[in-house]
Amino acid sequence: EAGVTQSPRYAVLQEGQAVSFWCDPISGHDTLYWYQQPRDQGPQLLVYFRDEAVIDNSQLPSDRFSAVRPKGTNSTLKIQSAKQGDTATYLCASSPLGGSYEQYFGPGTRLTVL
Amino acid sequence: GDKVKQSPSALSLQEGTNSALRCNFSIAATTVQWFLQNPRGSLINLFYLVPGTKENGRLKSAFDSKESYSTLHIRDAQLEDSGTYFCAAETEGADRLTFGKGTQLIIQP
Protein backbone atom coordinates (compact mmCIF):
# COMPACT_ATOMS: atom_id res chain seq x y z
CA GLU A 1 0.00 0.00 0.00
CA ALA A 2 1.44 3.36 -1.03
CA GLY A 3 1.76 5.95 1.69
CA VAL A 4 0.82 9.62 1.67
CA THR A 5 2.76 11.48 -1.01
CA GLN A 6 3.53 15.18 -1.15
CA SER A 7 5.21 17.51 -3.58
CA PRO A 8 7.36 19.44 -3.84
CA ARG A 9 9.71 18.33 -1.06
CA TYR A 10 11.33 21.73 -0.78
CA ALA A 11 10.42 25.30 -1.76
CA VAL A 12 12.32 28.58 -1.37
CA LEU A 13 10.48 31.86 -1.98
CA GLN A 14 10.85 35.57 -1.61
CA GLU A 15 8.27 37.34 0.55
CA GLY A 16 5.15 38.11 -1.44
CA GLN A 17 5.43 35.13 -3.77
CA ALA A 18 2.80 32.42 -4.05
CA VAL A 19 3.31 28.68 -3.62
CA SER A 20 1.16 25.55 -3.83
CA PHE A 21 1.63 22.24 -2.08
CA TRP A 22 0.08 19.02 -3.32
CA CYS A 23 -0.95 15.93 -1.35
CA ASP A 24 -2.11 12.49 -2.43
CA PRO A 25 -3.54 10.57 0.56
CA ILE A 26 -3.58 6.83 1.09
CA SER A 27 -6.14 5.24 -1.22
CA GLY A 28 -9.50 4.84 0.50
CA HIS A 29 -8.77 7.36 3.27
CA ASP A 30 -11.60 9.84 3.35
CA THR A 31 -10.14 12.29 5.88
CA LEU A 32 -7.22 14.52 4.90
CA TYR A 33 -5.31 16.94 7.14
CA TRP A 34 -2.85 19.76 6.57
CA TYR A 35 -0.45 20.65 9.38
CA GLN A 36 2.18 23.36 9.76
CA GLN A 37 5.32 22.44 11.68
CA PRO A 38 7.61 25.37 12.52
CA ARG A 39 11.20 24.46 13.31
CA ASP A 40 11.64 22.75 16.70
CA GLN A 41 7.90 22.55 17.35
CA GLY A 42 5.18 19.95 16.98
CA PRO A 43 2.80 19.94 14.00
CA GLN A 44 -0.20 22.26 14.30
CA LEU A 45 -3.43 21.61 12.42
CA LEU A 46 -4.33 24.11 9.71
CA VAL A 47 -7.36 22.49 8.06
CA TYR A 48 -8.96 19.13 7.50
CA PHE A 49 -11.43 17.58 5.06
CA ARG A 50 -13.79 14.68 5.04
CA ASP A 51 -14.19 13.75 1.38
CA GLU A 52 -14.41 17.13 -0.39
CA ALA A 53 -15.95 19.02 2.55
CA VAL A 54 -13.94 21.28 4.85
CA ILE A 55 -14.62 20.16 8.42
CA ASP A 56 -12.45 22.69 10.24
CA ASN A 57 -10.38 25.54 8.82
CA SER A 58 -10.43 27.73 11.92
CA GLN A 59 -6.62 27.71 12.21
CA LEU A 60 -6.03 28.54 8.54
CA PRO A 61 -4.91 32.17 7.98
CA SER A 62 -7.73 32.79 5.51
CA ASP A 63 -6.37 36.03 4.13
CA ARG A 64 -3.42 34.27 2.51
CA PHE A 65 -3.92 30.51 2.83
CA SER A 66 -6.45 28.36 0.99
CA ALA A 67 -6.98 24.62 0.72
CA VAL A 68 -9.14 22.53 -1.57
CA ARG A 69 -9.94 18.88 -2.12
CA PRO A 70 -12.38 19.05 -5.04
CA LYS A 71 -12.89 15.33 -5.75
CA GLY A 72 -12.33 14.07 -2.24
CA THR A 73 -8.98 12.56 -3.11
CA ASN A 74 -5.93 14.80 -3.75
CA SER A 75 -5.61 18.16 -2.06
CA THR A 76 -3.81 21.44 -2.67
CA LEU A 77 -2.72 23.97 -0.05
CA LYS A 78 -1.86 27.41 -1.41
CA ILE A 79 -0.18 30.42 0.13
CA GLN A 80 -1.00 33.57 -1.84
CA SER A 81 1.57 36.02 -0.54
CA ALA A 82 4.16 34.29 1.58
CA LYS A 83 5.70 35.88 4.68
CA GLN A 84 8.89 34.98 6.50
CA GLY A 85 6.75 33.70 9.37
CA ASP A 86 5.36 31.02 7.04
CA THR A 87 8.75 29.30 7.02
CA ALA A 88 7.95 25.78 8.23
CA THR A 89 7.37 22.23 7.09
CA TYR A 90 3.89 21.58 5.73
CA LEU A 91 2.67 18.07 6.44
CA CYS A 92 -0.26 16.24 4.95
CA ALA A 93 -1.88 13.29 6.72
CA SER A 94 -4.81 10.99 6.03
CA SER A 95 -6.95 8.62 8.04
CA PRO A 96 -9.74 6.18 7.27
CA LEU A 97 -13.34 6.61 8.41
CA GLY A 98 -14.59 4.05 10.85
CA GLY A 99 -12.60 1.98 13.31
CA SER A 100 -9.41 3.68 14.40
CA TYR A 101 -8.72 7.22 13.26
CA GLU A 102 -4.99 6.63 13.15
CA GLN A 103 -3.34 9.32 11.04
CA TYR A 104 -0.56 8.60 8.55
CA PHE A 105 1.75 11.39 7.46
CA GLY A 106 3.49 12.24 4.22
CA PRO A 107 7.15 13.33 4.05
CA GLY A 108 6.26 17.04 4.13
CA THR A 109 7.22 20.11 2.13
CA ARG A 110 9.93 22.22 3.70
CA LEU A 111 9.21 25.89 2.90
CA THR A 112 11.71 28.70 3.37
CA VAL A 113 10.55 32.29 2.83
CA LEU A 114 13.44 34.74 2.50
CA GLY B 1 -0.56 26.42 28.87
CA ASP B 2 0.33 23.48 26.69
CA LYS B 3 -2.52 21.05 26.17
CA VAL B 4 -0.03 18.22 25.57
CA LYS B 5 3.15 18.49 27.59
CA GLN B 6 6.08 16.23 26.79
CA SER B 7 9.02 15.48 29.02
CA PRO B 8 11.92 15.54 28.90
CA SER B 9 12.43 18.00 26.04
CA ALA B 10 15.79 16.40 25.21
CA LEU B 11 17.63 13.26 26.24
CA SER B 12 21.02 11.75 25.45
CA LEU B 13 21.58 8.04 26.08
CA GLN B 14 24.27 5.45 25.58
CA GLU B 15 23.51 2.63 23.20
CA GLY B 16 22.01 -0.34 25.02
CA THR B 17 20.37 1.62 27.82
CA ASN B 18 16.66 2.16 28.54
CA SER B 19 14.57 5.32 28.56
CA ALA B 20 11.08 6.54 29.36
CA LEU B 21 9.31 9.46 27.68
CA ARG B 22 6.13 10.96 29.04
CA CYS B 23 3.17 13.03 27.90
CA ASN B 24 0.75 14.77 30.24
CA PHE B 25 -2.58 15.99 28.93
CA SER B 26 -4.66 18.95 30.09
CA ILE B 27 -7.35 17.96 27.58
CA ALA B 28 -9.66 14.93 27.83
CA ALA B 29 -7.66 12.65 25.55
CA THR B 30 -9.49 9.61 24.21
CA THR B 31 -6.71 8.20 22.00
CA VAL B 32 -2.98 8.84 21.75
CA GLN B 33 -0.53 8.43 18.89
CA TRP B 34 3.26 8.29 19.24
CA PHE B 35 5.50 9.19 16.33
CA LEU B 36 9.22 9.27 15.63
CA GLN B 37 10.36 12.10 13.37
CA ASN B 38 13.56 11.00 11.69
CA PRO B 39 16.37 13.33 10.57
CA ARG B 40 14.75 13.53 7.11
CA GLY B 41 11.60 14.92 8.71
CA SER B 42 9.27 11.98 8.13
CA LEU B 43 6.81 11.13 10.92
CA ILE B 44 6.86 7.39 11.53
CA ASN B 45 3.88 5.86 13.32
CA LEU B 46 4.91 4.00 16.45
CA PHE B 47 1.70 3.43 18.39
CA TYR B 48 -2.01 4.22 18.26
CA LEU B 49 -3.51 3.74 21.72
CA VAL B 50 -6.86 3.67 23.39
CA PRO B 51 -6.49 3.39 27.18
CA GLY B 52 -4.19 0.46 27.84
CA THR B 53 -0.76 -0.72 26.76
CA LYS B 54 0.91 -1.92 23.58
CA GLU B 55 4.29 -3.40 22.87
CA ASN B 56 6.27 -3.66 19.66
CA GLY B 57 9.78 -5.08 19.85
CA ARG B 58 11.88 -2.85 22.07
CA LEU B 59 9.12 -0.26 22.40
CA LYS B 60 6.29 -0.27 24.89
CA SER B 61 3.63 2.38 25.38
CA ALA B 62 0.85 2.98 27.87
CA PHE B 63 -2.06 5.41 27.97
CA ASP B 64 -4.04 6.16 31.13
CA SER B 65 -6.98 8.39 30.23
CA LYS B 66 -8.14 8.80 33.84
CA GLU B 67 -4.75 10.10 35.01
CA SER B 68 -4.26 11.94 31.69
CA TYR B 69 -0.84 10.69 30.70
CA SER B 70 0.95 8.42 28.30
CA THR B 71 4.42 6.90 28.37
CA LEU B 72 6.80 5.47 25.80
CA HIS B 73 9.52 3.10 26.98
CA ILE B 74 12.52 2.27 24.82
CA ARG B 75 14.51 -0.78 25.83
CA ASP B 76 18.10 -1.45 24.70
CA ALA B 77 18.37 1.80 22.73
CA GLN B 78 19.98 1.59 19.28
CA LEU B 79 21.56 4.32 17.15
CA GLU B 80 18.60 4.24 14.77
CA ASP B 81 16.27 5.22 17.63
CA SER B 82 17.69 8.77 17.45
CA GLY B 83 15.23 11.47 16.42
CA THR B 84 12.37 13.49 17.86
CA TYR B 85 9.50 11.64 19.51
CA PHE B 86 6.07 13.24 19.44
CA CYS B 87 2.91 12.27 21.22
CA ALA B 88 -0.44 13.53 19.99
CA ALA B 89 -3.87 13.27 21.54
CA GLU B 90 -7.35 13.08 20.11
CA THR B 91 -10.41 14.17 22.10
CA GLU B 92 -14.01 12.93 21.99
CA GLY B 93 -15.87 14.05 18.89
CA ALA B 94 -12.84 15.79 17.39
CA ASP B 95 -10.92 13.64 14.93
CA ARG B 96 -7.88 15.87 14.98
CA LEU B 97 -4.57 15.53 16.80
CA THR B 98 -3.04 17.96 19.29
CA PHE B 99 0.71 17.47 19.38
CA GLY B 100 3.27 18.01 22.10
CA LYS B 101 6.51 19.84 21.41
CA GLY B 102 8.51 16.64 21.19
CA THR B 103 11.41 14.93 22.94
CA GLN B 104 14.70 15.03 21.08
CA LEU B 105 16.50 11.74 21.69
CA ILE B 106 20.18 11.25 20.87
CA ILE B 107 21.65 7.77 21.13
CA GLN B 108 25.44 7.73 21.43
CA PRO B 109 27.69 4.74 20.68
What CATH code is carried by the domain that includes residue A97?
2.60.40.10
Total tally of structural domains belonging to chain A: 1
Q: Which residue numbers in chain A have pLDDT < 50?
A: none
Alpha-carbon torsion (A55, A60, A63, A67), positive or negative:
negative
Q: Which of B33, B96, B98 sits opposite A102 (nearest CB)?
A: B33
Identify the pLDDT of residue A99: 55
A107/B contact by beta carbon, under 8 A: yes
pLDDT in tens, A76-108: 999 999 999 999 999 999 998 765 679 999 999
Split chain B (109 residues) into runs of 10 and give each run's mean pLDDT. Answer: 93 96 95 94 94 97 97 97 96 85 96
Residue B71, judged by CB atoms within 10 A of its CB (0-12, 13-18, 19+), counts as: middle
Task: Decide if B96 and A45 are in contact by the 8 Å CB cutoff.
Answer: yes
Which residue range forms the structural domain that includes residue A85? 5-113
Identify the pLDDT of residue B40: 86
Instruction: Among 3.40.640.10, 3.20.10.10, 2.60.40.2550, 2.60.40.10, name the CATH number for the domain at B4-108.
Output: 2.60.40.10
Q: How far is B69 from chain A (nearest CA, A)?
A: 18
Residue A80, judged by CB atoms within 10 A of its CB (0-12, 13-18, 19+), counts as: middle
Q: Percentage of residues in chain A with pLDDT exceeding 90? A: 84
